[in-house]
Amino acid sequence: MPAKTPHGLKLAGADTPAPARTTPRPPPGDQFARNPGIPLDLDTVLSYRINRSAVERRAATIPTRRTVKKQWQAAWLLRAVTLIDLTTLSGDDTPGTVRRLCAKAMHPLRGDLEHQLGIEPLHITTGAVCVYHALVATAVAALHGSGIPVAAVSTGFPAGLSPMATRVAEIRASVAAGAQEIDIVITRGHVLTGDWEALYDEVRAFRDACGDAHMKAILGTGDLATLTNVARASMVAMMAGADFIKTSTGKEGVNATLPISLVMVRMIRDFYEQTGHAIGYKPAGGIRSAKNALDYLYLMKEELGERWMRPDLFRFGASGLLTDIERQLDHFANGRYAAAHRQPMV
């Protein structure tokens, strides 16, 4: 059991008094082997048919079935900080912007707040920094020695409609520049037309181009029309070797939602039970409040268990989330909310 800080926080546990239902069980040693992919099984893919009403009813219970307060909430929020892929994907990104973002990733909380919470020995950082390919080298240099990986969005992000050779070359270039994680985007048209073989072949080619870099497959769920399509696309991406499945680019009209996330994590659970390979999950787009982040952590704990609440299997794709988490932690430590400008992102 990890030692408590002066405020009674236990980052490693992030427990609540109520027990959680856990289906998957990690192997001995608590580490999962990387997903190598499996042959496309169309019978399995086409067997998924999702009842939207049932999904929405279940998703609506997630924020109400579990709640954490006081030191427990602070512990869960500290855990959430370690799960953030701190992201900048704007047309006006510059090397200076990225270097400041990397500095924030290495020291996501104010020093005085860390001292008040008694968490300096934990050396909390964010899970990764996510940038465009052109700024990968800048981020790698800024994060040197920190252990924080650089994630690059690739394959013609956000539309994913560049020529195939261009998309594969972009992956290889980002890996060569030092990116340890690649966020690829699928061709949504393959899903909308039911061309699952083409989707599998595409994701498999991206996985091969990634080499040792871990691949997060962005499904663009807001463009997929139905939850059945979300489920099938999730399964095909995992069969093709995805290390993570991710909801959105953040550029769609609808990004991460609890119903979509419920479908995707159930697919992760099915794939784990069928193959023994654990796939990570990354909701992205529109997650800006600490309360919303807690809802996703509740979802992960109830559907997959605490092992899926660590950075190797769960990430938030976010840029503004960290600011609100800092404000909530400041309120816990001092009894009042600090102005947002006291927690600047860059």
- Residue positions annotated with a catalytic role: 183, 246, 282
DSSP track, 189-248: HHHHTT-HHHHHHHHHHHHHHHTTSEEEEE--GGGS-SHHHHHHHHHHHHHTT-SEEE--
Distance CA 16, CA 297 (A): 12
Instruction: Kindly list the distances between the CA atom of residue 267 and the CA atoms of 73, 83, 322, in Å, as whole numbers in the listed order.
Output: 28, 21, 28
DSSP track, 68-119: --HHHHHHHHHHHHHTEEEE---TT--HHHHHHHHHHHHS-S-HHHHHHHT-
DSSP designation for 338: P
Query: Of 185, 80, 85, which is closest to residue 131 (Cα–Cα)?
Result: 85
**Total Cβ atoms within 10 A of residue 306:** 17
Distance CA 249, CA 335 (A): 36
Instruction: Kindly list the distances between the CA atom of residue 220 and the CA atoms of 29, 62, 87, 234, in Å, as whole numbers in the listed order.
Output: 34, 23, 17, 11
